[in-house]
Amino acid sequence: MSALSEFWSASVIWRDPLAASVIAGALLGFLGVYVVLRRVVFVSAALTQLSTLGVIASLIALERLDLETEHQEIQLFVAWIFSVGGGLVLGTLGWGRRLPTEAGVGMAYVVAGALVILGANQLLHVAHDLNTMVFGNAVAVPFQDVVILLAVTGMVALLHTLFQKEIVFSSFDRETAEAMGVKVRVWGGVLFFTIGLAIPVAAHVVGALPVFAFLTIPASAALLATRRLPAAFAVATVLGALAAGAGYVGSWVLQVPTGATMVVVAGALVLPAWLWRRVRG
């Protein structure tokens, strides 16, 4: 039996993980258009670290304070608090005229990363679960995670449908939007709330590296291949889903790590987009 037919015959095993990966890829691909156009690519990296720090914090609480945080929902909730909080701070507050925004993002990334290492070092009993909880396990995703991911995707879609024109105006030209009475902090907050909401749940499914990749690569390819914003959102969403789905299937068939395969497939999508751009001029 070929690897592909083996794959088809095992559909009960991969159905939920594949669905979750495709949804996560689509969700992050969509949000990535804002991430790339607002030039906050490294905010997504910092938020992924902060989300990881949230998971570590809940695990330390479990071990040291004997709190009931062994349930994954609680860990996810703490990760959301860290990620959404970080998104609101990094995305909407500045450092005034003293420091560039990148400095704050860099500090958040590196300090959160260091705290993750220190925190993981403190874990005694649940360290073995850490890799799965932090770096995802696209091979075995329970149906419950698909439901959570769908709920988050629905909320993100709703907010971005209701407030798209405000978020686009505030993101494209904050200065003018503010001068003309648009509440730029509110709409920037809504955008980074949705990014902060998506990252922990997506990282739980596909892992930290694919999250960073899906927030960057599909949008970059879409912006190369399209000339209008609605088309860029649509193409980035489809490419994110495609990279996640094809990466998942490819990793199964080739028996290679899933997250890394997803990232490579996403990266491979940039070349045709760039060629398409060159051909169209």
Partner 1 sequence: MPTLIRLEDASIGYGGRALMSGISVSVESEDFLAVVGPNGGGKTTLLRTLLGTLPPVAGACSSVEPLGVGYVPQRDHVDALWPLSCGDVVSMGRVPGIGPWRRARSEDGEAARRALARVGLDSLWERSFGTLSGGQRQRTLIARALASEPALLALDEPTNGMDPSAELSAMDLLRDLHGAGGIAVVMVSHRLEAVANYARRLAFVDKDQGLWKVGPLEEMLRPDALGRLYGRDVVVRQEGGRRFVYPVAGGDER
Contact residues for partner 1, defined by CB under 8 A: 37, 96-97, 162-163, 165-166, 168-169, 172-173, 175-182, 223, 226-229, 231-232
Gap between the Cα atoms of 262 and 251, Å rounded: 8
Considering the complex, state which of residue 209 and residue 215 has its C-beta at the smaller distance from partner 1. 215
User: With respect to partner 1, which residue has the nearer C-beta, 128 or 230?
Assistant: 230
Least distance to partner 1, CB of residue 280, Å: 12
3-state secondary structure 83-125: HHHHHHHHHHCCCCCCCCHHHHHHHHHHHHHHHHHHHHHHCCC
> What's the min distance (Å) between Cβ of 196 and partner 1?
20
For partner 1, which is the closer residue by CB, 44 or 171? 171
Token pair, residue 210, equals: 């694919």
Annotate 249-281 with b (16+ C-beta within 10 A) or e (fewer). Answer: bebbeeeebbbebbbbbbeebbeebeeeeeeee
Between 127-135 and 184-206, two packed helices, what is the crossing angle to 10 degrees? 120
| Residue whose CB is less far from partner 1, 62 or 221 | 221
Burial-class residue 7 by CB neighbours within 10 Å (0-12, 13-18, 19+): middle
CB of 58 to partner 1, least distance (A): 35
Distance between CA atoms of residues 202 and 67, nearest Å: 25
Q: Is the Cβ of residue 101 or residue 132 nearer to partner 1 in the bound state?
A: 101
* Residue 96 CB, nearest approach to partner 1 (Å): 6
Q: How far is the CB of 182 from partner 1 (least distance, A)?
A: 6
